[in-house]
Amino acid sequence: MSRNIAVQPDAAIPPDILAGRSLVLVGLMGAGKTSIGRRLAARLGLPFKDADAEIEEAAGCTVPEIFARFGEQAFRDGERRVIRRLLSGSPLVLAFGGGAFLDPETRALTRRAALSIWLRAPLPVLVRRVAGRDHRPLLAAGDHATILERLLIQRSPIYAEADLIVDCTDETPETTTNRVLRAIADWNPPQCLDVSLPSTSYQVVIGNGLLEHAGALLAPVLPQKRAVIITDESVGSLHLPALRDGLAQTGIANAVITVPPGEASKSLHSWENVVGQLLDQRVERRTAIIALAEG
C-alpha cells in the first residue's frame, strides 16, 4: 500500500521515506536537476551533490575544458568513476549530468543504490532555460532547439527507465519540488519473487501499475529492445494499450499475436499455432515473449 502523504511546503518529511537510499535526478540540461535537487536535499535532510561539479573538482578543470582537452569519452569515464564513488557512500541527493544515465553501468548501479527520478520537461521549456548557456559543450555546435530536440529523442527512452517520472513545466521550483516529494511519498516499488524449478528459473514481479511501467522493468534485462505480446481477445481489449504504451516509453518495439478467448486457446494445438505465427514473422532470437493474461 502506498503512503498517502500530502506534502506541503512546510511539511515534515518522514525520515524513512527513501529507506536509506540515495535520490538521483536525471534529465536533459535545463530540466532543473540542480535547482530542484538542492531543495529536495534541504527538505529531506540529506546532503546535495552535483555530479558535474564533483567531476570538475576531481579533474581540476571545468567540464568544457575536459571535453576540449581529452574528449567526451574521457569525460564519461571520469563521470562514471565519480558517480560510483558518490553512490557508494551515505545517502544523498545527486543531480546527474544529462548524459550520465545513458551509461549502462551507471544505470545498473543507480538501480541498486538509489531511487531515480526523471525530471521530464517539454522542449520549449528546455530551450528557454538554456538560453545563453553556450558554455555547455553539447550546445556549442549549433542551434539550441535543434540540438535539444535531437537529444530528447535519443535520450528519452533511456531516461524512461528511471523509477519515477515527474513532469516539469514553467512553474516555480517550489511547486516542482512539492510534486517530486509527492511522487516519492506515493512510490510503492514492485516486489520480486524468484522462482526456481528443475528445468528453469524466473522472476515474478508483483505491484501496481506494472503495465504502464513495463518498459522500465524489462529494458534492463532485454538483450535487444524487441518483444512479442501474446494475448487473447478479451484481455487484450482491456490491457493491451497500457502494456504497449509502457513498452514504447523505453523504445521497446513490439508485435502482437492475438488468440481467441477461453480454455481452448490454452491447448497444445493453440500454442503450436502461436509458434507457427512467430516463425512466420521471423522473430529473432533474444526477443522477449510476453504473455498477457488474466490473473
Sign of CA dihedral 172, 159, 18, 212: positive
126 with 180, same domain? yes
CATH classification at residue 249? 3.40.50.1970
Range of the domain at 97: 22-186
Predicted TM-score (pTM) of this structure: 0.86
Number of domains forming the structure of the chain? 2
Dist. CA 112–CA 109, nearest whole Å: 5
Rg of the chain, C-alpha, whole Å: 22
CB atoms within 10 A of CB 14: 12
> Which DSSP state fits 219?
G
The arrangement of strands across the sheet holding 93-95 comes to 48-50, 93-95, 22-26, 114-120, 164-167
Looking at the domain assignment, is residue 198 inside a domain?
no
Looking at the domain assignment, is residue 199 inside a domain?
no
Query: pLDDT tens digits for the chain (295 residues)?
Result: 334 344 444 444 565 678 889 999 999 999 999 999 999 999 999 999 999 999 999 989 988 899 889 888 889 999 999 999 999 999 999 999 999 999 999 999 999 999 999 999 999 999 999 886 666 667 777 788 999 999 999 999 999 999 999 999 989 999 999 999 999 998 888 898 999 999 888 888 999 889 999 999 999 988 789 888 888 889 999 999 999 999 999 999 988 888 888 776 666 566 666 666 665 666 665 667 787 776 5
Amino acid at site 250: T
Looking at the domain assignment, is residue 42 inside a domain?
yes
175 with 223, same domain? no
152 with 26, same domain? yes
178 with 227, same domain? no
Dist. CA 195–CA 216, nearest whole Å: 21
288 with 169, same domain? no
85 with 169, same domain? yes
157 with 216, same domain? no
Beta strands in the chain (DSSP E): 22-26, 48-50, 93-95, 114-120, 164-167, 191-196, 201-206, 226-232, 253-259, 288-292
62 with 176, same domain? yes
CATH classification at residue 140? 3.40.50.300
- What does the buried/exposed string (b/e) look like for 67-101 if buried means 16 or more CB atoms within 10 Å of the residue's CB? beeeeeeebbebbeebbeebbeeebbbbbbbbbbb
